[in-house]
């Protein structure tokens, strides 16, 4: 393919991907499947790798992430990001309306004057405020709110958010800024927390903190995996051709931005109050969090006439919904043991109505939260639901505390097996280390092992696992493969057909591929995606068990915490014995998928990449090394064969390579190595 042909194809693919991206993420009207979209994207990436000079900063390929930002640069806002004054009652809103009308000369000062102002009401999203600058229709910069005067530039991370257009269409200003709110949809938040709990990580606190924290992650590939979303709601610039705020929202929608369709024009404060009343009840039906309503004077001329105070605009206000809160008696604090051994304290409450449901229990999260709240059995506590699914205790009514109540002392031993609890440095939770003899852990690990995304033994539910465990037929996952028909038939509700299906399901699980077997082991911090990357890189359990820390850290998505967790798991004799039994049962401990390499030219060679390159990104070079059988490492050692050095190579790496006599090659040398298998 010639350069001209490649340019034409890249343009066609870019336009097609942008169209489908907008249909899916903004309009929610997909026309093609995810697989078809991914195929088009893969074609584009391959062409851009072949012709890197044709890759645009606004290419759809930039959304997949991969760039690592070492630190986020502080950028001063061209237009300060002021906060809004808050209101919490009808009286506050009536007073705001009176001030607006008075400021516009539409009232004689009476609170109930007949003159009305046109307002725009918008849902107030609970996320991270962002300002995004576009020049000539392309996204050039994204900056967080920060302190309102300056914020952090997070352009690379923002580009991973699919609902934010990289290029615009229609008639837009040459240069402008648009502001909005980055948020994590609740279904995404729940899915992430489910996986985090499966791998033993602490769950994210709430969608707002999750969205805010995601924007400060240095690896944009991780940000892309968070599946953030964004609503845009304010257009700023020197030459904005609109007379009203609502017109600007409609225009932004036509340019390709995701504008929340619940925004409404309201004539006068009574319509505003009706809008607030409606959403105070309906907000819980949304799949994202909203904590209030933003009310703005619609007419730009009126906005300019009203102006600003030192801290906020006089023409806008935020009405904050009251969090649903009740008080009730904390009858008892109990402790649950999770699959990974994490101990979760639970507040058992006197039943109380909250958010349309009867609440009997609330999570107390960990020992630090109990100490911070100074919550005690017998206290009257305040319970909130708000946008949260799980109720939480937010405080204690000290005025009702009896002088006889004693401070809560967190348990020191497992409530199930009585093993002394441990707490690792940097961890919030206490853990029971008895992972082979603590009943909730053992049964929880078996449930994880047989789950659909792991070994997929669908004939084994939690009730059956509990039955088998109580009958002492299984004490761990390996025992499943020793079960016999004559052991199962005497069990209650276990007819011959049920027993046959169960044994058939266990036997069929031996065909599950290695990557899912690895995930099914329940190694702490090793989720489904990470297990897949480890399996494809290491190829066998044998290789993984003998891998050193450096080798593990070279695997994509494996950081220090995961590497140390793997090393600790395989160092445990009980785990090694378990793996031997599973191997004897016929489980797949080697990957049968092709390695994906295009050759073995670099087989047996270890590379360290350092510096900035002219024709390839560092990730592209790493991929090329792996495709040709080589190995990437993050640090130079005596096992390193080559240091692939670009501009601005780290001086310490250069010094170490020279001291160890490791050969340093350039980007051109590397290309020659691939072409001829020699330098």
- Mapping DSSP to helix (H, G, I), strand (E, B) and coil, where does residue 446 land? helix
| Residues whose CB is less than 8 angstroms from the CB of residue 177 and which lie 6 or more positions away in sequence, other chains included | 78, 79, 131, 132, 133, 134, 235, 236, 237
Report CA-CA distances (Å) from 224 to 25, 140, 434: 14, 18, 36
Distance CA 195, CA 198 (A): 5
Bridging pattern class, strands 606-610 and 290-297: unpaired
Q: Which residue has the tokens 């031997």?
A: 580
- Is the separation of the CB atoms in 141 and 133 below 8 Å? yes
Helix (H) or strand (E) holding 333, with range, is strand 325-337
Report CA-CA distances (Å) from 573 to 149, 426, 478, 629: 57, 26, 15, 33
Distance CA 615, CA 59 (A): 17
**Alpha helices (runs of H) in 521-666, residue ranges in sequence order:** 528-538, 541-545, 549-553, 560-571, 573-584, 618-627, 651-660
Q: How far apart are the first and last CA of the chain?
A: 28
Query: Nearest-CA neighbor of 233 among 208, 214, 211, 252?
Result: 252
Q: Which residues pair with 383 in a beta bridge?
A: 326, 393
Distance CA 316, CA 303 (A): 9
CA angle 368–371–373, rounded 5-degree value? 110
Q: Which residue has the tokens 């000290």?
A: 398
Q: What is the dihedral of CA 639, 642, 648, 650, to 10 degrees?
A: 10
What the block records as the tokens of 82 is 């002021």
Distance CA 321, CA 280 (A): 7
Phi-psi category of 641—alpha, beta or left, where left has phi over 0 and alpha has psi -120 to 50? alpha
C-beta atoms surrounding 77 within 10 Å: 20
Distance CA 254, CA 260 (A): 13
Distance CA 413, CA 438 (A): 12
Packing angle between helix 269-282 and helix 90-103, nearest 10 degrees? Answer: 150
- Asked about 533 being catalytic, the answer comes back as no
- Is the separation of the CB atoms in 138 and 167 below 8 Å? yes
User: Of the listed 70, 76, 78, 124, which one is catalytic?
Assistant: 124
Q: Which residue has the tokens 């309503």?
A: 293
Packing angle between helix 573-584 and helix 560-571, nearest 10 degrees? Answer: 80
- Is the separation of the CB atoms in 289 and 183 below 8 Å? yes
The residue length of the chain stands at 679
- Is the separation of the CB atoms in 407 and 376 below 8 Å? yes
Helix (H) or strand (E) holding 416, with range, is none
Bridging pattern class, strands 150-152 and 642-645: unpaired
Helices (H) and strands (E) in the chain, counts: 24, 20
- Is the separation of the CB atoms in 639 and 603 below 8 Å? no
Distance CA 635, CA 607 (A): 9
Report CA-CA distances (Å) from 29 to 20, 181, 255, 286: 9, 22, 17, 18
Active-site positions?
Answer: 124
């Amino acid at each position: 393919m010639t350069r001209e042909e490649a340019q034409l194809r890249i343009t066609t693919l870019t336009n097609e991907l942008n169209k489908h991206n907008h249909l899916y993420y903004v309009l929610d009207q997909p026309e093609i499947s995810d697989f078809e979209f991914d195929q088009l994207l893969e074609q584009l990436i391959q062409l851009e790798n072949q012709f890197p000079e044709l890759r645009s900063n606004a290419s759809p390929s930039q959304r997949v992430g991969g760039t690592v930002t070492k630190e986020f640069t502080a950028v001063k806002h061209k237009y300060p990001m002021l906060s809004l004054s808050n209101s919490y009652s009808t009286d506050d809103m009536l007073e705001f309306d009176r001030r607006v009308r008075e400021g516009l000369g539409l009232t004689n000062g009476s609170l109930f004057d007949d003159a009305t102002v046109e307002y725009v009401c918008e849902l107030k999203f609970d996320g991270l405020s962002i300002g995004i600058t576009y020049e000539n229709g392309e996204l050039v910069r994204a900056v967080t709110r920060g302190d309102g005067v300056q914020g952090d530039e997070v352009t690379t991370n923002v580009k991973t958010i699919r609902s934010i257009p990289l290029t615009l269409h229609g008639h837009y200003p040459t240069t402008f800024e648009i502001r909005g709110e980055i948020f994590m949809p609740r279904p995404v938040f729940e899915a992430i927390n489910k996986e985090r709990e499966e791998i033993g990580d602490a769950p994210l606190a709430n969608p707002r903190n999750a969205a805010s924290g995601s924007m400060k992650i240095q690896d944009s590939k991780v940000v892309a995996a968070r599946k953030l979303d964004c609503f845009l709601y304010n257009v700023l610039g020197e030459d904005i051709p609109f007379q009203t705020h609502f017109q600007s929202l409609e225009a932004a929608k036509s340019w390709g931005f995701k504008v929340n369709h619940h925004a409404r024009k309201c004539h006068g404060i009574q319509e505003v109050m009706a809008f607030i009343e409606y959403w105070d009840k309906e907000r819980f039906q949304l799949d994202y969090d909203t904590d209030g309503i933003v009310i703005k004077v619609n007419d730009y001329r009126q906005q300019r006439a009203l102006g600003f105070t030192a801290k906020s605009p006089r023409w806008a206000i935020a009405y904050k919904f009251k969090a649903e809160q009740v008080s009730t008696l904390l009858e008892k604090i109990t402790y649950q043991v999770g699959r990974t051994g994490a101990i979760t304290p639970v507040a058992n409450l006197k039943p109380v109505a909250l958010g349309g449901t009867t609440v009997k229990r609330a999570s107390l999260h960990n020992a630090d939260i109990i100490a911070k709240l100074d919550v005690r059995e017998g206290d009257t506590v305040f319970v909130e639901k708000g946008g949260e699914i799980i109720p939480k205790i937010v405080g204690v009514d000290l005025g009702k505390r009896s002088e006889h109540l004693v401070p809560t002392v967190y348990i020191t031993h497992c409530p199930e097996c009585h093993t002394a609890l441990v707490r690792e440095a940097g961890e919030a939770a206490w853990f029971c280390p008895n992972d082979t003899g603590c009943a909730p852990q053992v049964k929880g690990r078996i449930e994880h092992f047989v789950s659909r995304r792991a070994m997929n033994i669908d004939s084994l539910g939690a009730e059956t696992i509990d039955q088998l465990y109580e009958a002492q037929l299984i004490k761990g996952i390996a025992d499943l493969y020793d079960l016999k028909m004559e052991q199962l038939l005497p069990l209650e509700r276990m007819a011959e057909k049920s027993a046959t299906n169960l044994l058939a399901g266990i036997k069929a699980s031996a065909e599950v591929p290695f990557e899912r077997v690895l995930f099914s082991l329940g190694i702490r911090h090793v989720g489904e995606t990470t297990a897949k990357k480890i399996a494809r890189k290491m190829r066998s359990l044998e290789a993984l068990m003998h891998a050193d820390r450096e080798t593990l850290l070279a695997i994509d998505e494996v950081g220090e915490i995961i590497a140390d967790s793997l090393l600790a798991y395989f160092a445990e004799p009980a785990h090694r014995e378990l793996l031997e039994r599973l191997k004897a049962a016929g489980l797949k401990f080697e990957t049968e998928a092709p390695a994906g390499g295009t050759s073995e030219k670099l087989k047996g060679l270890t590379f360290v990449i350092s510096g900035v390159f002219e024709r390839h990104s560092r990730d592209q070079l790493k991929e090329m090394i792996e495709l040709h059988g080589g190995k990437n490492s993050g640090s130079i050692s005596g096992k390193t064969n080559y240091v692939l050095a670009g501009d601005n190579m780290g001086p310490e790496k250069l010094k170490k390579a020279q001291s160890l006599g490791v050969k340093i090659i350039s980007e051109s040398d590397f290309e020659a190595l691939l072409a001829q298998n020699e330098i």
